[in-house]
Amino acid sequence: MDSLNESGKLNQWGDHDYGSRGELPPEPTKEETPVLVENIASNVTVSTDIGQSENISWNEGRRVVELEVLAEQLFCNKCNTPLHLKDIVGEMRYGLGSLLEVVCQICSGMKLISTGKRNEKGAFDINSKVALAMMHSGMGPDHVVNFLSTCNIPPPDPKTLKKKEKSIALSLMDEASDSCKTASAEEKAISLSLSDELECSFDAGWQTRGSGWQYNSNTGHSSLVGVKTGKVLDYDHKKTFQQIKAAVLEGETYQPQIEENVSVRDIETIPTKYSLEGIDNYVVFDLETTGLSRTSDITQISAYDGTNMLNLYVSPRQSISSKASDVTGITFSFERNQMYCHGVPVESVCIRTALLQLIEMIQKKSRPVLVGHNIHSYDVPVLRNLLREFNLLSSFDNLIYGCIDTLKIAKREIPKADVQNYKQQTLVQKFLEIVYDAHNSEEDVRSLYKLFHLKLKQTCSGKDLFPFNYLSIVEGFSSVIVKKVISKDTARKLSCTGLSLHHLELAYKRNNDDGVKSIMQEHGLKGKTANVFKKFFSEKEE
């Protein structure tokens, strides 16, 4: 008889649509943690390696039952009277296994009856069996769920199947290795008894997807087979992550014969990981400001590339704090529109002019690396805010390869016991034996240039680079931070690689399965973060 499901659609078989309703057992909370289930007949220990689901009544759908195991339990522990399945009053499901609550009609006692065998930890064998069958048949967790749902059998959670698959895979690999060793010994014994030669055949190939187009998949397998025994002596597999990575990073530009009507999204390049190989353009810069806030105005800006020096005093739009003046010696009279350095009048320019002259200097270099002391926390944010205010941020950002903060390098490479503190003035005096006028940005950049090239540069790697516009990237992650998809700390780590939320979504759209994972691996980030974003983008599409 036809029936209606919860969505109001006709179900001509009269079965339950578990897959579409999403009524799957929840992910386990504690792997293999025994839970005592109390009843008046007996105590039964159940493993929660697969979480219990109470969404489906015991009389809905079908179950996988081992008849002999079930029959042996159909008696009351209290009065020894036979029990009947018609007296079931409840069910606790654990994946494909269940504990049936059966009431005795004589003494009213209740007994929990298992629908199948369980291991020493209480986990149902059927759940391991279905994971093994999934691997043997080449199916995935979603395929198993769809298959069981169509059969009207409440399925286990896909995440649970993946966990089972991982635990079983280790045993299978050990068994396969032992099998190959045994086969090799057998092949060797037979071959040497007939001749002095050992013959084997080898074959390898990339799998093809059954899409009708027969595209190559991302995995290939090879095997070495003994001629005499016909048994596999060794095997291997490989994933084309380099090809995946290139396709994801470069989009359609990686493909031959690219068409002219490909969208901008498909040809946009995702940033690769930073590298200092072949980089020899460094510009050291420093700022003096009106205060300690990131919204302060610049009072002096200096940049030095080892040959050319840019040093400008800058007229501020806000008052210089007394503390800043005490440190730098810079003051400014708004009445006279005059700047002073240690009481001596100096020529100053407006902020926009100073920014344009800095850009002009940078343009003469081939995408240099900006170097500074404590620039990640202060100088870069201040400069970035002012560039954005004057609509110069994108122009400046495109000229820079990346930034290096020498404070972070010094803290990593120089033991605390060797220096009093990690201030630039202290480090220069310690390692260069130079005493200079600190907090004068011109003297700061000259001394830091020497310190960087003589002491710190050789210890740097691509991991020490971060994008100039990293704060804008962090701001782009605000939506997923609010939704608690990732933490602020994770967003900061991602921003320092140059990967934005837009880049990650682009990678996902280019390759749903391995796109995000491949660029995460490229940048040395954790696979767990990749899985989080993959799930987020997948749910976003639904």
Weakest mean pLDDT among 2-11, 105-114, 131-140: 2-11
Comparing 489 with 242, which gets the higher pLDDT?
489
Reported as a single tens digit per residue, the pLDDT across 177-203 is 888 889 888 888 888 888 777 788 887
CA distance 534 to 487: 16
**CA distance to 58, 277, 364, 403, 457, per residue, from 399 (Å):** 67, 18, 10, 12, 21
Comparing 381 with 91, which gets the higher pLDDT?
381
Q: Tell me the pLDDT of the chain averaged across its residues.
A: 82
CA distance 268 to 504: 12
**Mean pLDDT value across residues 427-450:** 91
CATH for 282-466 (3.40.50.300, 3.30.70.20, 3.30.420.10, 3.40.140.10): 3.30.420.10
pLDDT at 407 (0 to 100)? 97
- pLDDT-derived band of residue 50, with 50, 70 and 90 as boundaries? very low
Q: What is the pTM of this model?
A: 0.56
pLDDT at 177 (0 to 100)? 84
Task: Using alpha carbons only, give the angle 440, 443, 444 rounded to the nearest 5 degrees.
Answer: 80
Residue 66 clears pLDDT 80, i.e. is over it:
yes
Reported as a single tens digit per residue, the pLDDT across 354-371 is 999 999 999 999 899 999
Reported as a single tens digit per residue, the pLDDT across 278-305 is 899 999 999 999 999 999 999 999 999 9
Kindly give, in sequence order, each residue whose CB lies less than 8 Å from that of residue 416, ignoring residues fewer than 6 positions away. Answer: none
**Mean pLDDT value across residues 477-495:** 93
CA distance 313 to 442: 10
CA distance 478 to 476: 6
Residue 33 clears pLDDT 50, i.e. is over it:
no
Comparing 173 with 321, which gets the higher pLDDT?
321
Comparing 118 with 167, which gets the higher pLDDT?
118
DSSP tally for the chain: helices H, then strands E:
20, 21
* CB-based contact 132:162 (threshold 8 Å): no
52-56, 217-221, 235-239 — which one is most confidently predicted on average? 235-239
pLDDT at 160 (0 to 100)? 81
CA distance 406 to 286: 12
- Alpha carbons within 13 angstroms on the beta-carbon side of residue 123 total 17
pLDDT at 206 (0 to 100)? 61
> DSSP letter at 67?
H
* CB-based contact 432:450 (threshold 8 Å): yes
* CB-based contact 157:24 (threshold 8 Å): yes
pLDDT at 155 (0 to 100)? 87
Task: Using alpha carbons only, give the angle 351, 357, 363 rounded to the nearest 5 degrees.
Answer: 135
Contacts 24+ apart (CB under 8 A), 507-512: 507/248, 507/249, 507/270, 508/533, 508/534, 508/537, 509/265, 509/537, 510/247, 510/248, 510/251, 510/266, 511/244, 511/247, 511/248, 512/538
Reported as a single tens digit per residue, the pLDDT across 395-432 is 999 999 999 999 999 999 999 999 999 999 999 999 99
- Give domain limits for the chain: 3-164, 282-466, 470-541
Residue 236 clears pLDDT 60, i.e. is over it:
yes
